[in-house]
Structure 1
Amino acid sequence: MPPIQDKHSSRELLQAQVNLWHHALGFVKSMALKCAMELQIPNTIQHHGGSMTPSELATKIGLHPSKLPRLRRLMRVLTISGIFAVHEAATSNKEIVYGLTPTTRLLVGDEVKSNLFPILSLMLDSTVIAPFFGMHSWFLDEHSTSLFKKAHSLNFWEMAEQDDTYNQILNNAMVSDSNFLTDIILRECGDVFLGINSLIDVGGGHGGAARAIANAFPQMKCTVLDLPHVIAEAPSDVHVSFISGDMFKYIPPANALFLKWVFHDWGDEDCVKLLKNCKEAIPPRDAGGKVIIVDMVVGSGLNEIVTRETHVLYDLFIMCVEGIEREEFEWKRIFMEAGFGDYKIISVLGVRSVIELYP
C-alpha cells in the first residue's frame, strides 16, 4: 500500500494535521475558560469599567509580576476564541487592552442569580470531566451502563444526594440556567402559558422558573414538584408552592405541566413512564391540558455549525450520566408510545426548543 503522502498534496496533509491538532487541543480552551472564571477575570474587567491592560489585570487579580507573560498567553487563547475582546490602547506605548464581549457578559454579576457562571462551573467541574478519561474502557465494558458511575462508584444523582458540596454546585447550576432561560422563554414564546390556570414545574428544583412564570402570570397557580432533599433547601415563596415527591410515581393534577431539561436525563423507557404520569395528571386537550417541555431537539433551530456541534457535543457530554439528547423522530416515538396525540416544536431558544405536547 503506498504511503498516504503519495495520495495527497503537502497542503492537504498539513491541513489534516492542523485539524487533528485543533481537535486534540480543544480541551485547552475549556481549561483556559475555567481558569479565567476561577481568577474572576470577567468580573474584574467589568468592575474596572469594562477594559483593562494586562498589567492592570494582573495586579488586580493578585498575580506575581512573573506571571504577567503567562497571563498574556492565557488571554490570547480567550481573545482568539471570542470569549474576551482585545484592542490597542489609545496611548503612545500601544499597550493592548482587554474588554468584555456578549459572551463574557454572561459570566459577570451575582454567581447564582443573574449569569451562567454556575452552569459553566458544573460543566467544567473535575467530578464531571474525570469519567471521560475512562470512556474507552467503559465502551468495552458490556456490564457498565453509566460512565459517571464507573468512575465514581455512584451515579450522578446519588452523588448529589450524598455530597453536599456537589449538590450545591448542581443546584446553583440549575438555578442560574432557569433564571437565564426562563426570562427568554417568557419573552420569545410566553404565549404557551396563556389560558393556564394551574401549572406544576416537574423537577423544578428551587423554583426559579416557576417563580418567573408566576410573576408573569399572576392568575396562575404555580407549584414545584421535586425530590425531598431538593425541596428541603428551596426558599419559601408566597407565589409558588412546593411538593416533595417522585415524578416517576405520581404527579399531582394540574391544567398544564412544565418540564425543563428533565427528559434528557433519562432513557426512553423511563421517559415513556414519566410521560404516562404526565398524561394522567392533565385534562384533555379541549379542556386546555398540555405538557410544556424545554429541551434539546438535535438538528433543530439555527442551521449553523456552532449550534449543530453544540447539540452533538452536549449529547456526548450527558451520555456520561446516562442521558440523551434526541432528534425529532426520537421525541415523536416516545410521545406516541406514551399515548399523546400531537406536539409542536418551537425552536427559538438557541440550542434548546420549546415543545408543546397535547394528549
Structure 2
Amino acid sequence: MMAINKSAWFPGGAGQSLSKVLATTSIMELTNGRSFDKLFQAHTLVLNQSLSIAGLMSLNCAVELGIADLIHSHGGPMPLSELARSIPIPPEKAPSLRRLMRLLASHGVFAAEPDGNSESETAYLLTPFSELLLTKGTNLSAFIRVNSDPAFMKPWFHMGDWFKRKGSTPFEVAYDGKCVWDLTKQRPELNDMFNDAMSCETCWVVKAMVTEFPQFFRGLKSLVDVGGGTGASARMVAEAFPDVKCTVFDLPHVVATLPESKLVNAVGGSMFDSIPPADAIFLKMPKLWISSL
C-alpha cells in the first residue's frame, strides 16, 4: 500500500515525531482497513449530529424575530436588506442575518432566489414550512419555543445520568425528582408556554380530523379529551359536532385557568387515577412526550 508522508505538515518537535509515524504508516493501517470515503462520510455525520442544535436554535431565532410574518407582509420575495430594516437590526449584524437566512433556507424553512433589483442580493420567500409559523394561521411557533426553552432542554443534558439509575425520567433527574407537571405548577409562565405549545401542535391535527374524517365522531354522544390543556381541541370538536358532549380532563391547576364555556366541561384530576366515563377518549400522545422521556 502507498505510504503517507506528512512531514511538511508537522515541522519540528513533537510534530516531527508524528510525521515520522505517518511516513511509515500505510493507508490501510491508518484507517483500520476502511476506505477514506467511508471515514469521511462518517466524519461528516459526526459533525452534522454535533451541530444539529444550530438548526433548532436558528429556527427559534426566526420565530423570535417574526421573520415569517415580515416576509408574508412584504407580499413577495423579500430582499435581505429590506428584511434587516424591517426587523430592525443594527447594520453591523447584517452579515450574521445573511448567514442565519442561508442556514434556514438550506433546511427548507425559507426559499431563496436572486433579487430582481440587485444582482448581488438574495431575496427570501415563504415555504410550506414557514407558512406554519405565521401568526394568522396554524402558527406552530409556540411548539418551537417550548422545545428550545432552557427549562425544557435541561433534561436532555441528564440522559446519561438517567440511564445509570433505576426508574424516574431524565426530567425528574434534572429537576430533583420533579416531573414536568410539578414544574409547570410551580412556574405559571412555563405552564402557559407548555399549554400553548401543545394546543397549537394539536389544533391543525384536530381540524383535519373534523373536516376530513368526520366519520370518527359519528354516533358519539360524549368525548373526553384526556390531557386537554387549554381545551382547544375539545372546542373544535364541539363546534363541529354540537350533539357530542365534550369534556376537557387535565390536572386541577391546568383546568383551573380555563374560562367558562357553554361548549365543553372542564374536569380536574389525574388520568393515572381515573378518567371520566364517555363514549370515546381522545388522547394525543405528543402531549406526554416530555414527561415520558
- Structure 2 partner of 1:322: 292
Cα pair distance change 1:98/1:250, threshold 3 Å: same
Pairwise CA distance, 1:133: 2.1
Structure 2 residue matching 1:201: 3-state secondary structure? strand
Pairwise CA distance, 1:186: 1.7
- Structure 2 partner of 1:43: 69
The reply on whether 1:106 has 2:106 as its aligned counterpart is no
Asked whether the equivalents of residues 206 and 235 of structure 1 are also in contact (C-alpha less than 8 Å), the reply is: no
- Structure 2 partner of 1:150: 173
The normalised TM-score by structure 2 is 0.84
- Structure 2 partner of 1:135: 159
Among the aligned pairs, what percent are the same residue? 37
Cα pair distance change 1:252/1:150, threshold 3 Å: closer
Distance in 1 between the 2:167 and 2:122 partners? Answer: 51
Structure 1 residue matching 2:201: 3-state secondary structure? helix
Q: Can you list the C-alpha shifts for 1:83-119, whole angstroms capped at 9, x where unaligned?
A: 1110012225352101110000101115xx8411111
Structure 2 residue matching 1:235: 3-state secondary structure? coil
Cα pair distance change 1:50/1:168, threshold 3 Å: farther
Give the alignment partner of residue 126 of structure 1, picking from 143, 147, 150: 150
Distance in 1 between the 2:95 and 2:183 partners? Answer: 40
Structure 2 residue matching 1:138: 3-state secondary structure? helix
Distance in 2 between the 1:75 and 1:99 partners? Answer: 11
Greater share of strand residues, 1 or 2? Answer: 1
For 1:206-225, list aligned pairs within 5 A.
206-225=230-249
Pairwise CA distance, 1:79: 0.4
Asked whether the equivalents of residues 109 and 115 of structure 1 are also in contact (C-alpha less than 8 Å), the reply is: yes
Cα pair distance change 1:139/1:248, threshold 3 Å: closer
Asked whether the equivalents of residues 145 and 322 of structure 1 are also in contact (C-alpha less than 8 Å), the reply is: no
Q: Can you list the C-alpha shifts for 1:14-45, whole angstroms capped at 9, x where unaligned?
A: 22211221121111111111111111111121
Give the alignment partner of residue 41 of structure 2, picking from 15, 21, 24: 15
Q: Which runs of 5+ in 1 are unaligned?
A: 266-317, 324-359
Cα pair distance change 1:193/1:88, threshold 3 Å: same
The reply on whether 1:203 has 2:227 as its aligned counterpart is yes
Distance in 1 between the 2:199 and 2:264 partners? Answer: 15
- Structure 1 partner of 2:190: 166
Distance in 1 between the 2:202 and 2:264 partners? Answer: 15
Cα pair distance change 1:126/1:195, threshold 3 Å: same
Distance in 2 between the 1:160 and 1:6 partners? Answer: 51
Asked whether the equivalents of residues 144 and 150 of structure 1 are also in contact (C-alpha less than 8 Å), the reply is: no
Asked whether the equivalents of residues 161 and 173 of structure 2 are also in contact (C-alpha less than 8 Å), the reply is: no
Cα pair distance change 1:6/1:242, threshold 3 Å: closer
Q: Which amino acid aligns with 2:71?
A: I
Q: Which amino acid aligns with 1:83?
A: V
Q: Which amino acid aligns with 2:45?
A: N
Runs of 4+ with >6 A deviation:
none
The structure with more radius of gyration: 2
- Structure 1 partner of 2:123: 97
Cα pair distance change 1:250/1:149, threshold 3 Å: closer
Distance in 2 between the 1:51 and 1:137 partners? Answer: 48
Distance in 2 between the 1:123 and 1:212 partners? Answer: 25
Q: Which amino acid aligns with 2:144?
A: L
Q: Which amino acid aligns with 1:173?
A: A
Distance in 2 between the 1:139 and 1:202 partners? Answer: 29
For 1:249-328, list aligned pairs within 5 A.
249-261=273-285, 265=288, 318=289, 321-323=291-293
The reply on whether 1:191 has 2:215 as its aligned counterpart is yes
Structure 1 residue matching 2:139: 3-state secondary structure? coil
Structure 2 residue matching 1:3: 3-state secondary structure? helix
Cα pair distance change 1:10/1:246, threshold 3 Å: closer
The reply on whether 1:230 has 2:250 as its aligned counterpart is no
Pairwise CA distance, 1:50: 4.2
Q: Which runs of 5+ in 2 are unaligned?
A: 1-27
- Structure 2 partner of 1:33: 59
